[in-house]
Structure 1
Amino acid sequence: MSVEIVNTLVVGGGQAGLAMSEHLGKHEVPHIVLERHRIAERWRSERWDSLVANGPAWHDRFPGMVFPDADPDSFVSKDKVAEYFVDYARMINAPIRCGVEVRKVRRLTGSHGFEVETSHGLLQARNVVVATGPFQVPVRPTIVPETARVTQLHSNAYRNPGYLPEGAVLVVGAGSSGVQIADELLRAGKRVYLSVGRHDRLPRAYRGRDLSWWLGVLGKWDADAPGPNTEHVTIAVSGAGGGKTIDFRRLAASGMILVGRTEACRDDTLVFDGGLAKNLASGDVCYLSVLDEADAYVFSNGIDLPEEPGARTIDADPACVTDPIRELNLAEAGIASIIWATGYAMDYSWLDLDIFDANGQLKQRRGVSTEPGIYFLGLPWQSSRGSSFIWGVWHDAKYVADRIATKDTYLAYKPPEKRESISRPHIRVF
């Protein structure tokens, strides 16, 4: 059986894979992109119906193409994001093959490169770029047993309020996904409990500029990755409804019931920690610190932007915060559904390579692994805060493509052939 040989294989046909293909193309590095489903599949089928991008159209895009027929300040729907990437792949003529799953990657024995097992056969590649993104395996805690009489699903399986059975809903997770889903359910008339853990809260916009703009001028997109053993803190920000600042107290005033972090379930009774008020206060500190930095930037640079004193208003804690619920019986509360907006984990079990440390973490720096020829793209904080965003992954791809092209230049080097010296008669000069 013949084995296809390629210079560089890119695994994944989402935003990371397409960004990688564009930069490899600019370097004239021969490559193919393998996608197991369709281009930008996770935007299509693993998100809820009303999801929009978390950044405005002028910002959350690749430099080479704007969103067609979209207000630059609007937040584009998930379907339009998927269409954008299909159009982009066509524009750059990406050599992408859909419907091909990569099942195993292992180093070739006694030869340069890797053997790649796919659903369509074997191939060999000098370089492999893993561009499968950060949203691979949904993390769903096992706190509530499957025997409980309640529907449980991860946020990636939620579609719309009509998707859930009648009854109240508990949403676990105070990041962007959890808050947007909880707000949508509340507006649909559901009784909603929102389990709030530690989080950072950011302004959607301030003084006439979107958060994306402020993060740019304040240099926060370029923030380095948190150090090892640093606790992950989720970010609460939303582009839903035209974009608005997430305010947990105002959600409570609208009828949402806030509870602390979900800790346990005993005899169909949920147990929440007592840190709700502290977590809200910590989120406020983050929120106000961004406003402080923005005001200082405006003052020091003499920028004419309107003041917005109302943005600093922090409402009083509602009753569900001052007198928090610590235990909640599922049946008595009428909770029929639990949505776990608890994030994702990576799955690299198909990489049969020595690229993991003792803690199971990837041994890599800015996407360049310790295994020569293996690269990663789309990792959270791969180079900075912006790495997981559409525009950020494009810039990370340029760095990785530069490394691949540079290495190939070294491998292609051949020293010039040495010319045989011509013996000449010795002439004595007087």
Structure 2
Amino acid sequence: MSVEKVDTLVVGGGQAGLAMSEHLTKCGVPHLILEQHRIAERWRSGRWDSLVANGPAWHDRFPGMEFADADPDAFVPKEKVADYFVAYAGMIAAPIRCGVEVKEARRNVGRSGFRIETSEGVVEANNVVVATGPFQRPVIPALLPDEAGILQIHSNAYRNPGQLPEGAVLVVGAGSSGVQIADELAQAGKRVYLSVGPHDRPPRAYRGRDFCWWLGVLGKWDAETPGPGTEHVTIAVSGAHGGRTIDFRRLAAQGMTLVGRTESYRDGVVTFAPDLADNIARGDANYLSLLDEADAFVASNGLDLAAEPEAREIGPDPECLTDPILELSLADAGVSSVVWATGYSLDYGWLKVDAFDEKGRPRHQRGVSVEPGIYFLGLPWQSRRGSSFIWGVWHDAAHVADRIATQRKYLAYREPTKRETKIA
């Protein structure tokens, strides 16, 4: 069997893989991208039908190309986001092969480089860039047994309200995905219970500027590590309905029932932690603190941005917040389905190298692995808060490509012969 050889193999043809390709090309590094499905496939088939980008078009893009036929302040639908990346791949002439699965990658024995087994044969590469992103294996807690008789799906499998059976729905997880799905289900006439854990709740916009802009000018996108106790805190933000601030009290006033973190299940009854009020209060504090920082920035820089005092108004607490439900009989409540918006875990089972800690997390410095020749791209907090966002991954790719190019130069060094030295 013939073996294809390439300097650098990029695994994954989404936003990370394409950003990597652009910068490798700029650095003169020969490379190949392998994508198991289509370009940016997760935007098409790993999201619900009505999803739009959580950031405005002027922000959530690569520097080299704007979204075609989109208002800069609009929140682009998911299919258009995927189309954007297809067009970008064409613009940069990315050397990508779709429909090719990478099954295993190992370091060569006794010589440099890696041997990569794929669905279309063997590839050998000096470097491997893992650009598969953070959304790999959907996490569904082992809480409700199959015999509970309830339809259970992860948010990555949810598409629209018509997909669910008649009856009420429990949505577990109040980050961006959980809140948007719960709201859509409620708008479709479903009785919805939303399990709310610790979260940050930034304003969608304030004083005429989107929160993406505020995080930029306040330096928050460049934060290098999460704050104390915030490693597992989700962010409740949405571009749905033209973009508006997530307000749990408003959702409750519209008929949704809020509950605390989902804790356990027994004999048809789900129990919730008594933490709903604390979680809502934490989100409020996060919201108000950003308004404070924004006001201080406006004052110190003399900006002409109109004040917005009404943004500080917090509505009355609904009954589900003042008298929270701690136990819910699924049968009595008519709950027929559960949507788990509980995130993802990493899956690097195909990568047989010593690059991971005891929990299976990559050991790296800004994407440069402890295993020479292995690189990662698109990880949350890879170099800063913005790393897993479209524009952030593009900037991280520049650093990784530079490191690959620099290492190639060292390895290409050839000691001059004595004759060459004399001539010089």
Unpaired runs of 5+ residues, structure 2, are none
Instruction: Within 5 Å, give how 1:22-421 maps onto structure 2.
Output: 22-226=22-226, 231-419=231-419
**More displaced stretch, 234-243 vs 358-367:** 358-367
1:121-171 Cα offsets, whole Å, 9 max, x none, are 111000000000010000001111111121100000000011111111110
Tell me if the contact between 1:225 and 1:382 (Cα under 8 Å) persists in the aligned partners: no
Q: Which one-letter code corresponds to 2:168 in the other structure?
A: A
Unpaired runs of 5+ residues, structure 1, are 423-430
CA positional deviation for 1:291: 0.3
For the structure 1 residues 370 and 188, does the alpha-carbon distance in structure 2 shift closer, same or farther, using more than 3 Å as the test? Answer: same
For the structure 1 residues 314 and 222, does the alpha-carbon distance in structure 2 shift closer, same or farther, using more than 3 Å as the test? Answer: same
CA positional deviation for 1:360: 2.7
Q: The residue matched to 1:9 in structure 2 has which SS? A: strand
**More displaced stretch, 217-226 vs 75-84:** 217-226
Q: Which one-letter code corresponds to 2:253 in the other structure?
A: A
Structure 1: how far apart are the matches of 2:402 and 2:206?
Answer: 37
Q: Which one-letter code corresponds to 1:97 in the other structure?
A: R
Tell me if the contact between 1:135 and 1:346 (Cα under 8 Å) persists in the aligned partners: yes
Tell me if the contact between 2:214 and 2:294 (Cα under 8 Å) persists in the aligned partners: yes
CA positional deviation for 1:361: 2.3
Q: The residue matched to 1:157 in structure 2 has which SS? A: coil
1:41-62 Cα offsets, whole Å, 9 max, x none, are 0000010000000000000000
CA positional deviation for 1:226: 2.6
Structure 2: how far apart are the matches of 1:406 and 1:334?
Answer: 61
Structure 2: how far apart are the matches of 1:395 and 1:231?
Answer: 22
CA positional deviation for 1:416: 2.2
1:333-364 Cα offsets, whole Å, 9 max, x none, are 00011000000000001111111123332111
Structure 2: how far apart are the matches of 1:217 and 1:179?
Answer: 27
Structure 1: how far apart are the matches of 2:252 and 2:195?
Answer: 12
Instruction: Name the TM-score, length of structure 2 as normaliser.
Output: 0.98
CA positional deviation for 1:227: 7.3
CA positional deviation for 1:228: 9.3
* CA radius of gyration, larger in: 1
Structure 2: how far apart are the matches of 1:199 and 1:228?
Answer: 14
1:200-232 Cα offsets, whole Å, 9 max, x none, are 110000000001100000000001123798641
Tell me if the contact between 1:265 and 1:271 (Cα under 8 Å) persists in the aligned partners: yes
Q: Which one-letter code corresponds to 1:40 in the other structure?
A: A
For the structure 1 residues 230 and 317, does the alpha-carbon distance in structure 2 shift closer, same or farther, using more than 3 Å as the test? Answer: closer
Q: The residue matched to 1:197 in structure 2 has which SS? A: coil
Tell me if the contact between 1:220 and 1:385 (Cα under 8 Å) persists in the aligned partners: yes
Structure 1: how far apart are the matches of 2:315 and 2:165?
Answer: 33
CA positional deviation for 1:394: 0.3
In the comparison of the two structures, how many residue pairs are matched? 422
Q: Which one-letter code corresponds to 2:137 in the other structure?
A: V
Q: Which one-letter code corresponds to 1:152 in the other structure?
A: Q
Tell me if the contact between 2:276 and 2:321 (Cα under 8 Å) persists in the aligned partners: yes
- Aligned-residue CA RMSD in angstroms? 1.3
Tell me if the contact between 1:33 and 1:96 (Cα under 8 Å) persists in the aligned partners: yes
Identity rate of aligned residues, in percent?
A: 73
For the structure 1 residues 276 and 137, does the alpha-carbon distance in structure 2 shift closer, same or farther, using more than 3 Å as the test? Answer: same
Tell me if the contact between 1:201 and 1:284 (Cα under 8 Å) persists in the aligned partners: yes
1:289-329 Cα offsets, whole Å, 9 max, x none, are 00000000000000000000010011121100100001000
**More displaced stretch, 224-233 vs 184-193:** 224-233
Tell me if the contact between 2:346 and 2:361 (Cα under 8 Å) persists in the aligned partners: no
1:5-39 Cα offsets, whole Å, 9 max, x none, are 10000000000000000000111110000000000
Structure 1: how far apart are the matches of 2:76 and 2:272?
Answer: 36
Tell me if the contact between 1:355 and 1:370 (Cα under 8 Å) persists in the aligned partners: yes
Q: Which one-letter code corresponds to 2:222 in the other structure?
A: D
Q: Which one-letter code corresponds to 1:66 in the other structure?
A: E
